[in-house]
Chains A and B, each alone.
Chain A
Amino acid sequence: MNDKFLHLENIEKVFPIPGKDPYVAVTDVNLNIKENEIVSIIGHSGCGKSTLLNMISGLDAQTNGNIFLEDKEVKGPGPERAVVFQNHSLLPWLSVYQNIEMAVKKVMPELSSQELRERVEKFISMVNLDQAKDKLPDEISGGMKQRVGIARALSIKPKILLMDEPFGALDSLTRANLQEHLMRIQEKVKNTVIIITHDIDEAVLLSDRVIMMTNGPSATIGEILEVNLPRPRDRVALQHNPEYIRCREAVLSFLYEKFAKEDE
C-alpha cells in the first residue's frame, strides 16, 4: 500500500485583499494520505477546510506548496480527483441517468454504447436509484440528489473521492441514511476518500483518520486522530464502544476546548 498516495507539502493559501494585508487562509499544511484510506477533515467554519479540498481538487490553486497524487504533481482539476459537491451540482436539464452518462462518456470515451449503458446503470444501482433513473433532479429528494452526485463521482473511476460537506444540507435522518450508503459502497469499491465535515459523529463514524484543523486565519492541521474501529461499523452498537467514545471525546475537546470558536 502506498503511504504517500496523496501527499501535501507545505500548502499555503493566501487571498489578496485590495488595500489591506493579504488574508492567510491556510498555511503550513503537510499531510500524507494512504491508498484506500478514508480521511475526514473537521474544523469550525472559516478554518479553510473547503479551501484545502478545493486545492486538492485543483478547482483552486494553492499560493505555496505542492500536492502530489501517486508522486505526480497535481495541477488543475481532473476526473481522477472526483468531487461530490455540497449542493450536488447535478445539471437540472438532464435526468439522473443522463447526468451520470455525461460524466462517464467524457472520461471513458473508449466505451461502446453497450458498455456505457451498463456502467451508468451499475452506478445507479449502487446508490439504489434504479426507480428514479429517468427523473430530473428537481423531481427527486435532496438525499437522492446527493446519491446521484456520489454515483456520478464514482462512475468516472477516480483515484480519490473528494467530498465537500456532502451531507451538510440534509436533515439528520437522511444524513444517517447516506452515511450508511457511503460505508456500504466503500466496502465494495475501496476508494481513497477525503470528507470535509463539521459533524463530529460523521467524522468518527466514517473515517480511518480525522484531521482536525485549527481556526483561521492561518489555519493549519492541529491534531490527527486515528480511529481504530473495525469495519463494517454499526452506528448504534458504536454508541457504547470505548474506542468510539474516546475518539468522539478527542474531537470534541479539540474543537470546543483547545480551539473553541467564540461568537458563533
Chain B
Amino acid sequence: MKSEILKKLLLPIVVLFVIIQLWNGLAHIVENLPTPADTYVAAFGGVNSDGDELEGVLTDPFYVNNEDDKGLFWQVAESLKRVFGGFALAILIGVPFGLLIGMSKNAQYAFDPIIQILKPVSPLAWLPLFLLIFQDINFTAIATIFVTSIWPIIINTALGVKNVSEDYMNVAKVLRFTPMEQVFKIILPVAVPYMFTGMRLSLGIAWIVIVAAEMLTGGIGIGFWIWDEYNNLNYPNIIIGIIIVGVVGWILDMMMNQISNYFDYTNKGRA
C-alpha cells in the first residue's frame, strides 16, 4: 500500500524530469523556443540566459497597474468568471430542457435534429455572431461558453431521465404521484449523476474554449494574456500560460468530480 503511494508520487516526477530534459535539448536546437531555465526565470524572477534581470510573472500575480495591465491571478480570475457565467447559464437552461427531452417523446422528436446539427459546431464559430449581437467582449465570451456547455448538459440530462426504470415509474403510478412528485422523487435522483457527468464534460470543454475565445476577443483573460505575451515577444510566458491553464483545468475537473460524487446515490454507503 505504502509503496503504491510512493510510486504514484515518484513516477510522475521521473517523467517530468525526462520531459524537461527533452525540452531543454529541443530548446537548444529550435530557435526562439525558450529553455526550461529561462521559463523558470520568467515565472519566478532572476537573471535569464541573455543576462536580463526579470521580475517573474508569478512573483506578484496580484498586481494591478491599470485596467489593461493586471497580474496573472486577475487574468485567470477573469477567465474563470466568464466560464462560470456561461456554465451557470447553460445549467439553468440545459437541465430543464434535458428533462423535457428525456420525458417527452414529442420534445425529443422536435429538438433532437437541431441539437445534433448544432452540437458539432465549434463554439468559436458562434463568436463573431455574438460579437455582432452584444458588441461587448464579456457577453460574447460568456455566450460562447454557454453554447459550448449546453449540449453535453442537455444530452446527459435527457439520457439520465431515459434511464429511469419502468419499475420505479410503476411504483410512482401505484402511489399516484403527481407529475411534480415524479420529477422530484423519482426522475431527478436517477438523472442527477448523469447530469453531473454532462456538467463535468461541459466545464472541461468550456475551459478549453475560453482560452481560444479570449485570444479572439482580446482585453483581459488568460487566453488573451498568452496571445499578448506572444505579441510582446515574451515567449517563456506562453509556456507559463499553458502550464497555468492546465493546472487550473485539472483543479476544475477535480472539483466537479467531488461534487458529482457527492450527489451520486450509487456512491453512498459503499465507500
Contacts and interface: CB of A to CB of B under 8 A. Distances in A.
A binds B: yes
Interface of A: 57-59, 76-79, 81-83, 85, 87, 89, 91-93, 102-103, 106-107, 135-136, 138-139, 156
B186 A91 contact: yes
B251 interface: no
A92 B174 contact: no
Contacts, number: 55
A83 B170 contact: yes
Nearest to A162: B174
B167 A106 contact: no
Contacts of B168: 89, 91
A59 B170 contact: yes
Interface of A is mostly: loop
A219 B266 CA distance: 41
Contacts of A82: 174
Interface in B157-190: 165, 167-168, 170-171, 173-177, 181, 185-186, 189
A105 to B, nearest CB: 9
B270 interface: yes
Contacts of A85: 167, 170-171
Contacts of B120: none
Given A59-B170, A87-B167, A89-B170, A79 B175 contact: yes
Contact of B265 (A78, A87, A93, A156): A93
Interface string B122-134: 0000000000000
Interface residues of B, number: 19
Contact of A106 (B165, B175, B268): B175
B269 interface: yes
A93 B268 contact: yes
Interface centre among B175, B265, B268 (most CB of A within 10 A): B175
A139 B185 CA distance: 21
A188 B101 CA distance: 47
A59 B174 contact: yes
B175 A107 contact: yes
Given A135-B269, A136-B269, A138-B270, A91 B189 contact: yes
A99 to B, nearest CB: 9
A103 B171 CA distance: 9
Contacts of A89: 165, 167-168, 170-171
B176 A92 contact: no
Interface of B: 165, 167-168, 170-171, 173-177, 181, 185-186, 189, 265-266, 268-270
Given A93-B268, A138-B269, A77 B167 contact: no
Interface of B is mostly: helix
Nearest to B193: A93
Given A89-B171, A93-B189, 12 more contacts: A59-B173, A77-B174, A85-B171, A89-B170, A91-B168, A91-B189, A92-B265, A106-B175, A107-B175, A135-B269, A138-B266, A139-B269
B173 A77 contact: yes
Contacts of A156: 175
A106 B265 CA distance: 22
Contacts of A103: 175
A81 B173 CA distance: 11
Contacts of B266: 92, 138
Contacts of A92: 265-266
Contacts of B181: 106
A141 to B, nearest CB: 15
Nearest to A134: B269
17 contacts: A59-B174, A76-B173, A77-B176, A78-B174, A82-B174, A83-B170, A89-B167, A89-B171, A91-B168, A92-B266, A93-B268, A103-B175, A106-B175, A106-B177, A136-B269, A138-B266, A156-B175
Contacts of A58: 173
B194 to A, nearest CB: 13
Nearest to B186: A91
Nearest to B188: A93
Nearest to B185: A102
Contacts of B170: 59, 77, 83, 85, 89
Contacts of B185: 91, 102
Contacts of A81: 174
A36 B248 CA distance: 67
Contacts of B176: 77-79, 106
A85 B269 CA distance: 24
A187 B269 CA distance: 36
A204 to B, nearest CB: 28
